[in-house]
Amino acid sequence: MLTVAEAVARCPLFDGLPRRYQELIAGCARFVRFDADVAIFLEGQPADRFFVLREGRVTLEVFSPERGRIVVQTLGPGDALGWSWLFPPYRWHLDAMARERVAAVAFDGACLRGKCHEDHLLGHLLMERFGDLMLQRLQATRLQLLDVYAHGSR
Amino acid sequence: MAAAEPDFLTPRPARVLSRRRETRESVTIALEAAGEAWLPGQFNMLYAFGVGEVPISISGDPGRPDRLVHTVRSVGMVSEALCRLRPGQWVGVRGPFGSTWPLAAARGRDVLLVAGGVGLAPLRPVVSELCRHRPDYRRVTLLYGARAPGDLLFRRELERWGHRVDVLVTVDRAAPGWTGDVGVVGSLLPRAAFDPEGGVAMVCGPEVMMRFALADLRRLGLAERAAWISMERNMHCAVGLCGHCQLGPAFVCREGPVFRADAVAWALGVREV
């Protein structure tokens, strides 16, 4: 049976990190499961953790009184979910809904922030990875905004 | 006496056999074939009589040589006229022209198809071939991105293909009731069963989408020599005479439209080309 430490080592987000750091991170991690159509977190709630998905899909949504739930992105296995735990005021900016049964590794934000304060290299390495993740998501969002399929015969 | 040169510049009349509306803007028309041998990736020049002529990729099944199938998006006068065609009406056809997707090179390897918008149409014959000869290839994945659920082409086929190959679909903007993925097509890459070491990628869509998809594939570790893209340019003669579709040292109509990415990736970042 897969241990939490093994699952952390397999997370793409932590790929290539020194083993001792993967083990430190695993100390703040545990397995979690969510049923389909369950809210993993909601906008405005305390962002006290983040997740790396192992199975199932999760949608990031914004609720609009006029339009209901607006899905802005879908995440799947291997994807990291949540970065609001990194920055004050530590509150979620979006809703995350399990679209199907989801298995994930959940990481305690306060625990990990504490370890980053104690070991700045770990903090630097984690910030690099989350920075890269944010850059990828930002670029993807820009591409969505470009509406590339609107014009041309393709 | 020397044999007459084939006349590549004169359209032959072809009867419309069927017409299927795919989306609000796109239509698939099947024409009566005249025994033309064509390969996935090639295009025909379709002439709407009295309106004009445009290059349209062949989107049919290579296993049905009796029909020449094209999927047309209405974006101008000629394509609009083609979209209005009804069964029994006539259209002018020149072709087939151009280079082909590397199906032979893909044998025995993982195959990743990345399509955006109407860019699925030129890859549709590839999917048909891959499904027909499935054991000849390793893992096959189709990633398809569109603007919104209503813009997805070949919906029934996407479901059918899903029985033979992995099909992942995403849209940039969800609509009520959409339960599929939302996000750019590149965001599906981590979920594709694909080995960048020995795999082959074929990418087709708007140029900016292909530029980003190639960057995502590079990031995944795929060499540019293992990726092919289909370019679109202003083609007129289709045989490399007029120069309208020149792309650096190549003519898209003659050396393309399918290019190995390392041959044309430079052009994707040049504003004037």
Q: Does A132 touch chain B (CB under 8 A)?
A: no
Distance between first and last Cα of chain B? 44
B150 versus B265: the higher-pLDDT residue is B150
Whole-number Å distance between alpha carbons of A31 and B18: 54
Query: Is the minimum CB–CB distance between B158 and chain A shorter than 8 Å?
Result: no
All structural domains of chain B: 12-97 (2.40.30.10), 103-230 (3.40.50.80)
Class of domain A4-141: mainly beta
pLDDT value of position A68: 86
pLDDT tens digits along B72-129: 999 999 999 999 999 999 999 999 999 999 999 999 999 999 999 999 999 999 999 9
Residue A102, strand partner residues: A34
pLDDT in tens, A40-88: 999 999 999 999 999 999 999 998 888 888 999 999 999 999 999 999 9
CA B249/CA B264 separation, integer angstroms: 10
The closest CB to that of B232, out of A147, A148, A153, belongs to: A153
- Contact call for A144 and B183, based on CB within 8 A: yes
Closest partner residue to A149 among B146, B187, B204, by Cβ? B146
Instruction: Select from A139, A144, A91, A90 the least CA-distant residue to A113.
Output: A90
Q: Which residues of B touch A146 (CB under 8 A)?
A: 208
Beta-sheet pairing, B166-171 with B181-182: parallel
What are the chain A neighbours of B172 within 8 Å (beta carbons)? 144, 147, 149
Integer Cα distance of A84 and B50 in angstroms: 60
Q: Is B119 on the interface with A (CB under 8 A)?
A: yes
Closest partner CB to A74 (pick from B72, B170, B212): B170
Instruction: Please tell me the number of Cα atoms within 13 Å of A112 on its side-chain side.
Output: 27
What number of other Cβ atoms are within 10 A of residue B178's Cβ? 15
Report helix, strand and coil shares of chain A as percent, to nearest 5: 40, 30, 30
* Cα separation, A59 vs A37, whole angstroms: 10
Which segments within chain B are labelled E, that is strand? 12-21, 26-32, 43-48, 52-57, 67-73, 90-97, 111-116, 140-146, 166-171, 181-182, 200-204, 227-230, 246-247, 250-251, 258-260
| Cβ contact B144:B189 at 8 Å | no
SS3 A22: helix
Structural domain boundaries of chain A? 4-141
